[in-house]
């Protein structure tokens, strides 16, 4: 009897060790090579369908991924719905009514579960969806570091403090990325994601009406759909890239050089500061931009929750497993 009990204890310890190593093991593009070999095919096909229905979705899922990784690491915490006394990141002001695409993540998760039940994290699905959104809009592809796990909680306070784009200076912007171990070069490359997608009037109203570092003709153009008096037109959309908002290219940097950055945080990259030279390089050399963007995405995608954070593989990306 004692021997049987000891055996069961040994198995429990072994299971705990395996779970622990899985939670904090090395990330790798081949993490699911044996456990879910069809993963990337399922994600790509579902993303293709989503973008055929709405080409904006590529930019939306890229933004969702950024906002996930910038709060306690790339852990799928942004996907958790508010329930009962739990208030997560999804409805934080920087996310609520602006981050979209949750239903696409749900659809990918559903399709992945059909072929590999209980294996792939929502965090990794979000990372692959962001990569494929970029690729399907004409941008680069890359090998995503996989093996992230889903957190069992979220951080509303960190979402409110770390996702604000109302930076008053380039130094503040650089410092906010440095908190995530991302360099000024990473910052300038990652903000190139604004070569696709749209933003709401409430986010750029102050820049087009009160900004001093903006092309007057561009400001006039944007004022047509963004009234000066809030809350009139708050949710009206304008393209982040005035030239090719549904194509992933380097036009964003041409816009910055021409003082046509839609958001004040964008134009901070080119205004007599430390990133001017790099912005000019990206404008002149699209391959350099793509290479640096991929490097920065892989670096950001490796951000993990603090050591000891409880994690799991969620069955439903919106709720913690019961």
pLDDT digit string (tens) for 127-168? Answer: 999 999 999 999 999 999 999 999 999 999 999 988 875 667
Kindly report, residue by residue over 68-126, the tens digit of the pLDDT: 999 999 999 999 999 989 999 999 999 988 899 999 999 999 999 999 999 999 999 99
What is the CATH number for 242?
A: 1.10.420.10
Q: What is the pLDDT of residue 22?
A: 42
Separation between Cα atoms, residue 194 and residue 146, nearest integer Å: 25
What is the CATH number for 71?
A: 1.10.520.10
Residue 63 has pLDDT above 90, yes or no: yes
**Residue 243 covered by a domain:** yes
Q: Are residues 121 and 155 in the same domain?
A: yes
Residue 34 has pLDDT above 70, yes or no: yes
**Residue 9 covered by a domain:** no
Q: Across residues 208-233, what is the average pLDDT?
A: 96
**Residue 232 covered by a domain:** yes
Q: Are residues 208 and 268 in the same domain?
A: yes
Q: Are residues 135 and 45 in the same domain?
A: yes
- Asked if residues 148 and 120 have their Cβ atoms less than 8 Å apart, the reply is no
**Does the annotation place 171 within a ligand binding site?**
no
pLDDT band at 1; cut points 50, 70, 90: very low
DSSP 284-307: H-HHHHHHHHHHHHHHHHT--PPT
**Does the annotation place 241 within a ligand binding site?**
yes
Q: In this structure, what are the phi and psi dihedrals at residue 316, rounded to the nearest 5 degrees?
A: -125, 120
Separation between Cα atoms, residue 64 and residue 102, nearest integer Å: 8
As a whole number, the mean pLDDT across the chain is: 91
**Does the annotation place 152 within a ligand binding site?**
no
pLDDT band at 296; cut points 50, 70, 90: very high
Q: Are residues 157 and 248 in the same domain?
A: no
Q: What is the pLDDT of residue 307?
A: 87
Counted domains in the chain: 2
Asked about 67 being catalytic, the answer comes back as: yes
Q: Are residues 292 and 186 in the same domain?
A: yes
Separation between Cα atoms, residue 198 and residue 204, nearest integer Å: 11
Q: What is the pLDDT of residue 69?
A: 97
Q: Are residues 294 and 308 in the same domain?
A: no
Exactly one of 11, 67, 207, 254 is catalytic; name it. 67
**Residue 176 covered by a domain:** no
The residue range of the domain holding 238 is 182-300
Q: Are residues 127 and 224 in the same domain?
A: no
**Residue 279 covered by a domain:** yes
Q: What is the pLDDT of residue 225?
A: 96
Q: What is the pLDDT of residue 168?
A: 75
Q: What is the pLDDT of residue 7?
A: 38
Q: Across residues 6-28, what is the average pLDDT?
A: 51
**Does the annotation place 11 within a ligand binding site?**
no
Q: Are residues 80 and 49 in the same domain?
A: yes
Q: Is the pTM of this model over 0.75?
A: yes
Q: In this structure, what are the phi and psi dihedrals at residue 305, rounded to the nearest 5 degrees?
A: -60, 160
């Amino acid at each position: 009897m004692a021997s049987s009990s000891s055996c069961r204890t040994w198995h429990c310890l072994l299971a705990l060790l395996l779970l622990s190593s899985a939670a904090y093991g090395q990330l790798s593009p081949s993490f699911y090579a044996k456990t879910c070999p069809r993963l990337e095919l399922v994600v790509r096909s579902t993303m293709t369908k989503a973008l055929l229905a709405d080409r904006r979705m590529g930019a939306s899922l890229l933004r969702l991924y950024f906002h996930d990784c910038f709060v306690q690491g790339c852990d799928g915490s942004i996907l958790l719905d508010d329930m009962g006394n739990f208030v997560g990141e999804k409805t934080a002001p920087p996310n609520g009514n602006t981050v979209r695409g949750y239903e696409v993540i749900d659809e990918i998760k559903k399709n992945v579960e059909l072929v590999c039940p209980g294996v792939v994290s929502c965090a990794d699905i979000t990372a692959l969806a962001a990569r494929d959104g970029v690729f399907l809009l004409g941008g680069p592809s890359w090998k995503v570091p996989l093996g992230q796990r889903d957190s069992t909680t979220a951080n509303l306070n960190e979402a409110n403090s770390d996702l604000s784009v109302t930076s008053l200076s380039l130094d503040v912007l650089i410092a906010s990325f440095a908190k995530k171990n991302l360099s000024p070069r990473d910052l300038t490359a990652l903000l190139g994601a604004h070569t696709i997608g749209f933003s709401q009037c409430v986010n750029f109203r102050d820049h087009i009406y009160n900004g001093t570092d903006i092309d007057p003709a561009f400001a006039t153009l944007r004022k047509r759909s963004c009234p000066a008096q809030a809350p009139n037109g708050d949710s009206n959309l304008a393209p982040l890239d005035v030239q090719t908002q549904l194509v992933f290219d380097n036009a964003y940097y041409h816009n910055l050089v021409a003082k046509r950055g839609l958001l004040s945080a964008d134009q901070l990259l080119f205004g007599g500061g430390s990133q001017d030279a790099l912005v000019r390089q990206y404008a002149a050399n699209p391959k350099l931009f793509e290479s640096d963007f991929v490097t920065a995405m892989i670096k950001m995608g490796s951000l993990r929750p603090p050591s000891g954070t409880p994690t799991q593989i969620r069955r439903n990306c919106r709720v913690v497993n019961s």
